[in-house]
Amino acid sequence: MHAAEEIGRTVPTTIAWNKVLADTTEIVLFAPRLQVYRSLFRIAIAGRLRPTASAEAAQRFSGVQASGNPYALTAEDLARGLRLGVQFADGRRAALERRAGVLPSGGPLEPGPLISTSRASSDEGVFDWEIVVTAIPQAGPVKLYYQWLDLGIGESMAEIDGDVLRDAADRSSELWAADHT
């Protein structure tokens, strides 16, 4: 099944995560919720620039750095901007490739995980992203790795309880069968 197809025909289980990922003098980066489908999940990632942030931080936060056109980014921008990745307990892992962060729709899901952007919006001092991880772990937790060097956030990690993900996947509701035409 295609990831986009599963998202289109499934009511996900929404889990409030409310996880603060980073809280600096310039920005608060957090993950308010998870949406879990049968075989994939979305992580909402949000950033809020503090009103007291420096002009330099505001410039780094704005525009393409937060969620704009990834094709306008240089290699240095990509290295210093917001970077995300996941690792499953069995060692499988994936990183968000900002130049190719598009949800696959042309073939079956990879064994996973594959990470891609789903939705993005930004305004002055605010951005909201959704990333899709196209697998549910068979056992153990999922580690979410992140960094945003331009805003002083070094590589960090938050853990997502795999039991909660698996239970939520079982509780998601399929609206119609995959072979329905």
φ, ψ (nearest 5 deg) of residue 76: -65, -40
Write out the residue range of the structural domain in which residue 88 sits: 3-174
More confidently predicted of 145 and 116 = 145
What pLDDT is recorded for position 54? 92
pLDDT confidence band for 1 (50 / 70 / 90): low
At 54, is the secondary structure helix, strand, or coil?
Answer: coil
pLDDT tens across 58-114, in order?
A: 888 875 444 445 555 566 766 777 888 999 999 998 888 654 444 444 444 445 677
- Residue 151, in any domain of the structure: yes
- The predicted model scores a pTM of 0.82
Number of domains in the chain: 1
What pLDDT is recorded for position 19? 98
What pLDDT is recorded for position 72? 57
- Residue 81, in any domain of the structure: yes
Q: Which two tokens stand for residue 169?
A: 């996947």
Strand order in the sheet with 13-23: 13-23, 27-36, 41-49, 126-133, 115-123
What pLDDT is recorded for position 122? 60
- The CA distance from 103 to 131, in Å, is 9
- All residues at 6 or more sequence positions from 6 whose CB lies less than 8 Å from its CB, including other chains: 37, 38, 39, 40
Q: Which two tokens stand for residue 135?
A: 């697998």
On the 0-12 / 13-18 / 19+ scale of CB atoms within 10 A, 168 is buried
- Residue 152, in any domain of the structure: yes
pLDDT tens across 3-18, in order?
A: 778 888 889 999 999 9
DSSP state of 128: E
- CATH classification of the domain holding 8: 2.60.40
